[in-house]
């Protein structure tokens, strides 16, 4: 999948800010090891993946080297969302050797992390193939990389839940308790932001009935049995969309997808990622 970066609000601004912070923590007052290399030494480099993966992170790599040295030239052999095989050359670099080596780790950190997220998402999307269910991410993201990981989820073929606390209501147990019940919470939400989506998390069929009566747009079933999920889908048909959540992993996903809910959400898309093994080879 090749999503547009504009699909994620504030992505480009967040990207530049994240790259600046990453370079500041790594380079600090200067790369003393790079000073071993003559200042005018030119080089060419190749970045290779050591394993099969779904690529994500081109713009972050480009921002790293642009912020370090705008004269560097990058030549990409893949796009975000592409599935590539081990030993594939992802991109090449030409320019100052010091700049290439100074930016290497920061650039690869972004690329390996976001490609890891996209690869995980692609695996989940594959397990739900042939169904109409949408696999959603959550807010369980790496601090400072929220929009980046949300973008990576799209590259892997899954979908985004709300971006943050500001763009949709998700009324959970503690909100319900503090607000005085499901009906009261939904009514207050409609008054606060009438255009915003209102989702309510429920833990049993009784609470499902209350959420339906209150007029929730989406109802999240937390740790429901398969039998209760089927009952909830029957009751909610034509009234609210249903999201399955809780204990959703890759092994159980296919079984859950067959239940024919509207959505399945899983924090594993972003919080259980394993970075992809990448390597940079320098040619002088």
Q: Say whether 241 is catalytic.
A: no
Catalytic residue (one of 41, 50, 73, 140) = 140
Which residues are CB-contacts of 197 (< 8 A; sequence separation ≥ 6)?
Answer: 162, 168, 169, 217, 218
Say how many CA atoms lie within 13 Å of 117 toward its Cβ. 32
DSSP-derived pairing of the beta strands 218-222 and 83-84: unpaired
Q: Say whether 44 is catalytic.
A: no
Catalytic residue (one of 44, 46, 66, 105) = 105
Q: Say whether 222 is catalytic.
A: yes
- For the record, the structure tokens of 258 come out as 């067959």
Q: How far, in Å, are 57, 58, 146, 275, 282 from residue 143 at the CA level?
A: 17, 20, 6, 16, 32
Q: Nearest 5°: phi and psi at 241? A: -85, 150
Q: Say whether 201 is catalytic.
A: yes
Q: Are 141 and 162 a contacting pair, CB within 8 Å? A: no
Catalytic residue (one of 66, 172, 230, 241) = 172
Catalytic residue (one of 83, 203, 222, 277) = 222
Catalytic residue (one of 80, 82, 137, 201) = 201
- For the record, the structure tokens of 28 come out as 């600090």
Q: Say whether 239 is catalytic.
A: no
CA distance 97 to 44: 8
DSSP-derived pairing of the beta strands 42-49 and 89-96: antiparallel
Residue 15: how many CB atoms within 10 A of its CB?
22
CA distance 242 to 200: 10
Q: How far, in Å, are 59, 126, 129, 135, 280 from residue 157 at the CA level?
A: 18, 8, 10, 9, 27
Catalytic residue set: 105, 140, 172, 201, 222
């Amino acid at each position: 999948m090749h999503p547009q970066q504009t699909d994620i609000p504030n992505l480009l601004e967040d990207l530049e800010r994240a790259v600046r912070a990453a370079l500041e923590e790594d380079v600090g007052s200067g790369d003393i090891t790079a000073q071993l290399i003559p200042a005018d030494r030119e080089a060419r480099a190749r970045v290779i993946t050591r394993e099969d993966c779904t690529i994500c992170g081109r713009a972050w790599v480009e921002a790293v080297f642009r912020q370090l040295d705008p004269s560097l030239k990058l030549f990409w052999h893949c796009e975000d969302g592409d599935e590539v095989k081990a030993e594939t050359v992802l991109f090449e670099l030409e320019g100052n050797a010091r700049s290439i080596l100074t930016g290497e780790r920061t650039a690869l950190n972004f690329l390996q992390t976001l490609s890891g997220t996209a690869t995980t998402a692609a695996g989940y999307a594959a397990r739900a193939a042939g169904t109409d269910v949408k696999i959603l991410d959550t807010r369980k993201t790496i601090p400072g990389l929220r929009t980046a990981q949300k973008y990576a989820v799209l590259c892997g073929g899954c979908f985004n839940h709300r971006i943050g606390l500001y763009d949709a209501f998700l009324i959970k147990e503690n909100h319900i308790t503090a607000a005085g019940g499901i009906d009261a919470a939904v009514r207050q939400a409609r008054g606060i932001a009438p255009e915003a989506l209102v989702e309510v998390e429920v833990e049993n069929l009784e609470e499902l009935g209350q959420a339906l009566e209150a007029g929730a747009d989406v109802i999240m079933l937390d740790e429901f049995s398969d039998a209760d999920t089927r009952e909830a889908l029957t009751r909610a048909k034509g009234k609210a969309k249903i999201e399955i959540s809780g204990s959703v992993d890759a092994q159980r996903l296919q079984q859950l997808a067959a239940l024919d809910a509207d959505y399945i959400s899983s924090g594993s898309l972003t919080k259980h990622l394993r970075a992809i093994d990448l390597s940079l080879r320098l040619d002088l």
